[in-house]
Structure 1
Amino acid sequence: MIRWLHLGLIALMLPLAACFETEPLTQAATRGLLPATGPSSVQVLRDAVTVTGPAGYCVDVEATSESDIEAFVLLVRCRSTLRASPVLSATITGLESDGNPDSLRRLTTFLQSMPGRAQLSRSGDPSDVTVEAANFADGVIWLLIHDNGNPSAFDETYWRAILPVAGRIITLSVLAAADHPFERDSGLAILRNFVMRMRTQNAAQ
């Protein structure tokens, strides 16, 4: 019973994360997603979690927001590239992880159901979302999501990872520009690097 209660709490936090992400993503896209001049990392939720991306990514300070229970951090390339590079986002919830991988394994199955897709949807409508791939490996939920509710500047298909970091449940996303969608494998490679960097940076916390 306790395990299922914790699973329910994680699921309930996901729509809050989706809503929390939409406004800063839209605002950042409106500004044109210019190269960031911010730091390579930032600490959030009273320094509980350090957010950092792969090499070459910097924090977009204007698009970073935080409340008492969650934080959103956007990372973009530090320097201009010949074509639009994917942007990265991290949403950190106030929900603590129980450290039990079975909770996330069960959540992986739940997220492919209609109620689960409603949780992932930026609009709350499960019909907007198709989970194109979902698996649990290395303590992480790996999701390839198609969401019609993504801000228009971004491709509707994006990668998302859900995992515990520094005792918190976090979600990490890789979003491509609408006019420069990434290949499936390249997007996943960026997300894996993002996950590795986050784990390494927070290993001592």
Structure 2
Amino acid sequence: MPISDRMGAKGAAVVAALGVLALSGCDANGEFAGRSAFGHGPVTALRVAQNSVTVVGPAGYCIDKSGSRDRDSGSFVLLGSCATLNGEPEGPTAPGVLTALVSPETDQPQAPTAAQLERFLRSTSGRAALSHDNRADTVTLLDIRRNGDVLLLKVRDRSTGRPDDLQDTSWRAVLAMKGRLVALSVHSHEAVPMTDAQMRQTLDRFLAAMRAANAAPVPDQEA
């Protein structure tokens, strides 16, 4: 059955791979495979996945190079306050921790609809993919909604291995972009918490920045 009718096993497997990347990425050990020359200081944008997807955060957020990785099995990019990454004392009010996950390349471009993504992520396998320990019973979907081609989720993850300095609730967005699945997330620090509205607004800004950076170029028009 075509992917337009149902997500299919391959599409579900790719979404599950995003959950695995989330687990490995949060414990990144300073390695960013294949990227050895970033220059000094934080950067605001980074091309990953064979240069097919540009990851960029909203204003005030930069790439944490030490916590990011780009591999054939998928890409994980960690973003934080530019001021904090530059060693400055002040940054955005209640800055969050942002992540971008980009699925690996597959034989066929990934283009599931928001409805197909929702069906999968509501399933036991889908909730397991959202968990740090791959257990569906540690994840609660507090809110889930579709916005065009994007699936927005508010997730509570109480799994083992989750970073202790982050709150257990996050906002996430999953969508197809340039033939790959992309998952964006906004997490809040325990010490300097964001409100729910701030987290959702930051996710909206993150999504807008990603769309702008990855928009198809407008073809030249003949006079």
TM-score, length-scaled by structure 2: 0.79
User: How many angstroms apart in 1 are the aligned matches of 2:140 and 2:192?
Assistant: 20
Q: Is residue 2:15 matched to residue 1:14?
A: yes
The alignment partner of 2:42 has SS state of coil
Counterpart of 2:170 in 1: which secondary structure? strand
2:180 to 168, 181, 185: 168
- Distance in 1 (CA, whole Å) between partners of 2:177 and 2:215 is 8
CA distance in 1, matches of 2:8, 2:56: 27
Q: What is the deviation of 1:181?
A: 3.0
**Corresponding residue of 2:52:** 48
Residue correspondence of structure 1 range 107-186 to structure 2 within 5 A: 107-149=117-159, 150-186=162-198
1:147 to partner: Cα distance = 0.4
Rounded to whole Å, the distance in 2 between the matches of 1:16 and 1:105 is 19
Q: What is the distance in 2 between the residues matched to 1:124 and 1:170?
A: 19
C-alpha distance in structure 2 between counterparts of 1:137 and 1:193, whole Å: 14
Q: Which runs of 5+ in 2 are unaligned?
A: 30-39, 85-89, 218-223
- Is 1:189 the counterpart of 2:193? The answer is no
Letter in 2 for 1:97: Q
User: What is the match of residue 97 of structure 2?
Assistant: 87
How many aligned positions are there? 195
What residue number does 1:74 align with? 78
Give the 3-state SS of the residue equivalent to 2:27 in structure 1. helix
Residues 122-131 or 164-173, more deviating: 164-173
Structure whose residues are more often helix by fraction: 1
Unpaired stretches in structure 1, ≥5 consecutive residues: 29-35
1:60 to 59, 64, 82: 64
Kept in 1: contact 2:6–2:116 (CA 8 A): no
Q: CA deviation at 1:43?
A: 0.5
Q: SS in structure 1 opposite 2:79?
A: strand
Highest CA radius of gyration, 1 or 2? 2
Q: Distance in 1 between matches of 2:6 and 2:123?
A: 18
